Amino acid sequence: MSSESPGSLTVAVVQFAPTTNGGANIEQIAEFVARAVDRGADLVVFPEYSSYFSAEMGPDWLAAAEPLDGLFVSELAAIAAAQQVHIAAGVVEATDGTRFSNTVVVVDAAGSLVATSRKLHLYDAFGHRESDYAVAGPIVDPELFEIRGIQIGVQTCYDLRFPEVTRRLVDAGADLVLVPSEWVRGPLKEHHWRTLVTARALENTIYIAAADHAPPIGVGNSMIVDPMGVALASIGDDPGIALAEVSLERIESVREVNPALSLRRFRVVPVG
């Protein structure tokens, strides 16, 4: 049974390896959600590209793209309503047919779409060119959603390397930031992942819940980190679930000893 006290919730991150079989992906999602709810989850976070994924991005991704009222999001909403839980997951969202949007959707326990987040910084790095097929999300006001008084924001994968993205969510009021990802394996990449996830939590005195793809393509190591940079729960390299409690009381106590946000002398300004 999930917790019901105001100012706290149980968040789960799910690590799995989506494929090009959308039906199989949604079946795995349903199974993971059921297991997470049995363990008390109020919110279940899946990786980016949970609806469709292959090792090499190509025209097939455009063919697999769906609108937000399409089959994947509809089935995700049905799972959320059946299990009475919030779910966040990445979808290949259809746009104009020449590019897709790397989008994370959040559906609530009633099955309603309560937030969307489109990846701001595309992965044109380490030999990859996400922008060949995807379009960067527009700079818009963050869409936060709330569970029992906790404000929650979303960013995606490569956005972790841009600390102003998380700071902007925190400026909007986020206590917890979800980071659905497909953090590609490579030299030192697991180290980068753990360092950046921890830094975003520490410097903003918030919780981070980061869900990655399982190997062999992703680094795995999905994790939930608290405002002091403590990894409350993590997964190694196998598919699985990690859960932890998120508490406003913990955020407040950390900010009493580390009032970094109130001491800051700079603000985030979009450059384009």
| Catalytic positions, written as ranges | 48, 119, 157
Can you say how many angstroms the Cα of residue 234 is from the centroid of all Cα atoms in its chain? 15
Are the C-beta atoms of 235 and 241 separated by less than 8 Å?
yes
**Structural element, H or E, at residue 94:** strand 86-94
- Give the Cα separation of 72 and 53 in Å (integer): 13
Residue 22 corresponds to which amino acid? G
CA 17, 78, 166 angle in degrees (round to 5)? 55
Non-local (6+) Cβ contacts of 8 within 8 A are: 148, 150, 245, 246, 247, 248, 249
What Rg, from alpha-carbon coordinates, does the chain have? 17
At residue 65, φ and ψ (nearest 5 deg) are -65, 145
Residue 142 corresponds to which amino acid? P
At residue 124, φ and ψ (nearest 5 deg) are -105, 65
Half-sphere exposure of 88 (CA within 13 A, CB side): 38
Quickly count: other Cβ atoms within 10 Å of residue 225's Cβ.
25
